[in-house]
Amino acid sequence: MAKSSADDEELRRACEAGIEGTKQSIVMSIRVAKSRGVWGKSGKLGRQMAKPRVLALSVKSKGQRKKAFLRVMKYSSGGVLEPAKMYKLKHLSKVEVITNDPSGCTFTLGFDNLRSQSVAPPQWTMRNTDDRNRLLVCILNICKDVLGRLPKVVGIDIVEMALWAKDNTPVVTTQRSTEDGEPVAETVTESELKVTVEKELVSQAEEEDMEALLGTYVMGIGEAEAFSERLKRELQALEAANVHAILESEPLVDEVLNGLEAATNIVDDMDEWLGIFNVKLRHMREDIESIETRNNKLEMQSVNNKALIEELDKVIERLRVPSEYAASLTGGSFDEADMLQNIEACEWLAKALRGLEVPNLDPIYANMRAVREKRAELEKLKATFVRRASEFLRNYFASLVDFMISDKSYFSQRGQLKRPDHADLRYKCRTYARLLQHLKGLDKNCLGPLRKAYCSSLNLLLRREAREFANELRASTKVSRNPTVWLEGSTGSSQNANTDTSAVSDAYAKMLTIFIPLLVDESSFFAHFMCFEVPALAPPGGAGTDNKNRSNNDDGNDDDDLGIMDIDETDKKTAKTSPDLTALNESLQDLLDGIQEDFYAVVDWAYKIDPLRCISMHGITERYLSGQKADAAGFVRLLLGDLESRVSMQFSRFVDEACHQIERNERNVRQMGVLPYIPRFAALATRMEQYIQGQSRDLVDQAYTKFVSIMFVTLEKIAQQDPKYADILLLENYAAFQNSLYDLANVVPTLAKFYHQASEAYEQACTRHISMIIYYQFERLFQFAKKIEDFMYTITPEEIPFQLGLSKMELRKMLKSSLSGVDKSIAAMYKKLQKNLASEELLPSLWDKCKKEFLDKYESFVQLVAKVYPSENVPGVTEMRGLLASM
């Protein structure tokens, strides 16, 4: 017989190598064949192709605790065993030997922790029953020893397995040494050689009882013929006893049979009756079901008819046009007393039209002929009402404006300025505000012609009011006209330059104070009255300002209370995306177009009286413009921007004319002294500073820059016409510029910049002129010093006295000619400085500069002489300074 793989030590070592590092020891390893069963009917189990595997039982000790595992090992491509699966024996619940395998070598192991119990567990097939019993006994012993319980065993008798284990426990002879060192043979069972101690499956008492029991049945089995005869005799005795009992019970049997026959007849009769009753009940049941079906249909029909009647009543109610509303829509009056009824009719019409739309009406009714006809009738009513209302409103707007224009008391008259008052006009228009809202809801396209009609009519009124107000404003303002020629002509031409023309700018401010809030209010009222979808406007202070309170503020100085509407930041973002904003701006263009001409006329009139008043008007306009931010008054902002541009253009025109006046000085005959435009510019700048208001500083600074630039360029050109006296002309005019603008330069940064520029030019002109006078009187002295300085760059000071023209003799001759009578030369310098100077007030400062310059040059000369001619005596600087001080 072939050796069992359970005794293969190489297989055991291969398995131990496969689980190396797990701290587990192999108890048994045995080769098996693995197959996957297919569940069929009545426990029939088919097999797939078998795969070679090795089952290894391993134990892991952790202190007093032990864990047992069943490992499935498979062969890798290189023939090496490697772990495939591992089962914990504590989850082993069933061991089942397959009954349809005749050899009895196939079994399955059931675990209670498998994820899918619907999948058949793998089948393990051994080479023979001994290998099977050996593995199963080992598994059962480990379960009993380690887990303290046995799994369920199916298909094999556990007592039979215990007997097999007792008979087939191999005996192993081992050797041990005695105390004398001689080996002694000792016989032990294989189970005693295991590391794990296996306990008996059946106790000794149970085994003795089973042997005694088996002994009673086995007794005599050795004598087959005697045992067979004994069995035959016992069988015959049993048969005879049975026949006798049957014969004795025959009367009783007959009586029972008679009773059974009578009962059978009764049962047959009852079955027939029950059949008859069943047929009748079935027919009755069918009749009841038929009646219930008809009843249910009738009830359903009744409910449906009731619901249909209710729905039809609702539809009829929707389709009915009240006679009073029909009369108002087709031929009613639009007088103020009838407006409430007209509004109610509009609301009903809008609601009726919405009620016939699909979202509000069941789609089933939408295509009904009655609904279509009623919708067409309502559309016809809507078109008729919109046409009548639009025609009435166009005529109403025109009649309102014509009535106001025909009444002269609404406008300014000679000797009486009148603020436009549109309170009554707006009150009458508000009567029809709700009508316009309903017209927009009924037909949005009808608002376009109405808006144009309103704008056209109101534009005539606004232009008439602005024209009459501007004419009377100019006529009532009495003021002398200031000269427009500021920087040219004789001094006497500016005698009227100080005339007070503040009434001109006050008149312009009054024009803006009256009309800008009016135009803003008209723009806002128009936006709301004509139902533009733009954000609500609010005054800068938060709550709305009463128009009457604002209209009573006639004080021209209160320019800040503009009544200008504003929009908060959130509404601004909404307004930018509002689809009506573009249409609103176009309508405002029609509403207010043309009124700017009357503002332009006031600006031009003010310019002719006093061009400098453009500065005040620019500041006033800028202040209004900076406060005007409402989108609904977009055209008013454009108007203010155009006014600002007009004022700036007129002021630029004045600046250009003044610059031309300055440039005309260039073409005059030789000019001496201070040019006339220098002091006149100072007077002009002083006046301009008085007129500055608000944000007009930039405008004035730009004018200063242009004026002064032209003045300095023209001064340089005039000076170049006579180079001999150029420096005198320059220093006198730059000094006059500084003297005249000293106070203004301290407060005006732009003028301070030009003041410093003039100061630098003055110093440069003084230096050139003084140097010319000094060189004219002491030319030989300083030319000699110049020659020495030139040679100092190339040769040493000791070699200079040996150069041509620089000997000591030449030095003495030069000193004698230049310094003999030096007091007369200095006096001549003073007379020459005084001779051509027109501004006597400049002479002391110029003479001080001349003396200082001369001493500096003479000191340099003395130092050169001391370095080159140390033995020569030259008058000292102290002596020369004392001479100059005494003169």
**727-761: per-residue pLDDT in tens?**
788 888 888 888 888 888 888 888 889 889 888 88
Q: What is the pLDDT of residue 118?
A: 62
**pLDDT tens-digit series, residues 501-512:** 788 888 888 888
Q: What is the pLDDT of residue 676?
A: 82
d(CA 431, CA 436): 10
The rounded Cα 81 to chain-centroid distance in angstroms is 65
d(CA 326, CA 322): 6
Q: Is the dihedral of CA 264, 268, 274, 277 positive or negative?
A: negative
**Bridge partner list, 92:** 111
Cβ-in-10-Å burial (0-12, 13-18, 19+) of 251 comes to exposed
pLDDT at 182 over 70: no
Distance from the first to the final alpha carbon of the chain: 158
**Looking at 113-117, 235-239, 500-504, 562-566, which range is the least confident one?**
562-566
d(CA 453, CA 438): 18
What backbone phi and psi angles, to 5 degrees, belong to 84?
A: -110, -50
The pLDDT of 228-237, averaged and rounded, is: 83
User: 169 vs 10, 31, 165, 189, 202, CA distance in Å?
Assistant: 22, 20, 6, 6, 15
d(CA 815, CA 473): 82
**Looking at 114-123, 168-177, 223-232, 850-859, which range is the least confident one?**
168-177
d(CA 878, CA 859): 9
The pLDDT of 238-253, averaged and rounded, is: 79
SS3 sequence, 631-652?
A: HHHHHHHHHHHHHHHHHHHHHH
d(CA 822, CA 855): 13
d(CA 786, CA 867): 14
Q: What is the pLDDT of residue 284?
A: 92
Closest CA to 485 of 647, 611, 617, 663: 611
Q: What is the pLDDT of residue 639?
A: 85
Joined together, the tokens standing for residue 713 give: 């360029």
pLDDT at 186 over 60: no
- In this prediction, residue 201 has a pLDDT band, given cuts at 50, 70 and 90, of low
The pLDDT of 201-209, averaged and rounded, is: 66
Closest CA to 622 of 516, 759, 734, 760: 516
d(CA 125, CA 121): 13
**pLDDT tens-digit series, residues 408-419:** 666 666 656 778
E strand segments, 155-294: 171-177, 183-189
Collect contacts of 178-186 with beta carbons under 8 A, ≥24 apart.
none
**pLDDT tens-digit series, residues 533-586:** 766 444 433 333 333 344 344 443 333 332 333 334 444 444 444 566 777 878
Cβ-in-10-Å burial (0-12, 13-18, 19+) of 292 comes to exposed
Tell me 102's DSSP state. Answer: T
Q: Would you say the pTM of this structure is higher than 0.75?
A: no
d(CA 743, CA 751): 10
Q: What is the pLDDT of residue 588?
A: 81
Tell me 696's DSSP state. Answer: T
**Bridge partner list, 29:** 56
d(CA 883, CA 738): 33
d(CA 679, CA 839): 14
The pLDDT of 46-74, averaged and rounded, is: 83
The rounded Cα 475 to chain-centroid distance in angstroms is 59
CB-based contacts of 486: which residues, under 8 Å, 6+ apart?
494, 497, 658, 661, 680, 683, 684
d(CA 887, CA 883): 7
d(CA 781, CA 783): 6
SS3 sequence, 450-493?
A: HHHHHHHHHHHHHHHHHHHHHHHHHHHCCCCCCCCCCCCCCHHH
Tell me 200's DSSP state. Answer: P
**Bridge partner list, 97:** 107
Closest CA to 140 of 60, 224, 199: 199
* Packing angle of the helix pair 726-740, 697-720 (nearest 10 deg): 160
What domains can be seen in the chain, in order of their start residue? 5-37+50-167 (2.30.29.90), 678-708+729-886 (no CATH)
What backbone phi and psi angles, to 5 degrees, belong to 33?
A: -115, 130
**pLDDT tens-digit series, residues 621-676:** 888 887 765 444 577 888 888 888 998 898 889 888 888 888 877 665 566 777 88
What backbone phi and psi angles, to 5 degrees, belong to 489?
A: 90, -175
Q: Are strands 81-88 and 92-97 parallel, antiparallel or unpaired?
A: unpaired
**Bridge partner list, 73:** 54, 83
**Bridge partner list, 174:** 186
Q: What is the CA radius of gyration of the chain?
A: 67
d(CA 396, CA 394): 5
Instruction: Give the three-class secondary structure for 333.
Output: coil
pLDDT at 826 over 60: yes
Q: What is the pLDDT of residue 199?
A: 45
Q: Is residue 109 within 8 Å of residue 53, measured between CB atoms?
A: no
- Count Cβ atoms below 10 Å from residue 505 Cβ, excluding itself: 24
- In this prediction, residue 2 has a pLDDT band, given cuts at 50, 70 and 90, of low
- Category of 786 on φ-ψ map: left (φ > 0), alpha (ψ -120 to 50) or beta: alpha
b vs e for 364-386, b when ≥16 Cβ sit within 10 Å of the residue's Cβ? ebeeeeebeebbeebeebbeebb
Up-side HSE of residue 548: CA atoms within 13 Å toward CB? 2
Collect contacts of 348-356 with beta carbons under 8 A, ≥24 apart.
348/322, 349/325, 349/378, 349/381, 349/382, 349/385, 349/442, 350/438, 350/441, 350/442, 352/318, 352/321, 352/378, 353/378, 353/379, 353/382, 353/442, 355/318, 356/318
Q: Is residue 607 within 8 Å of residue 475, measured between CB atoms?
A: no
Q: What is the mean pLDDT of the chain?
A: 76
- Count Cβ atoms below 10 Å from residue 616 Cβ, excluding itself: 25
**Bridge partner list, 52:** 33
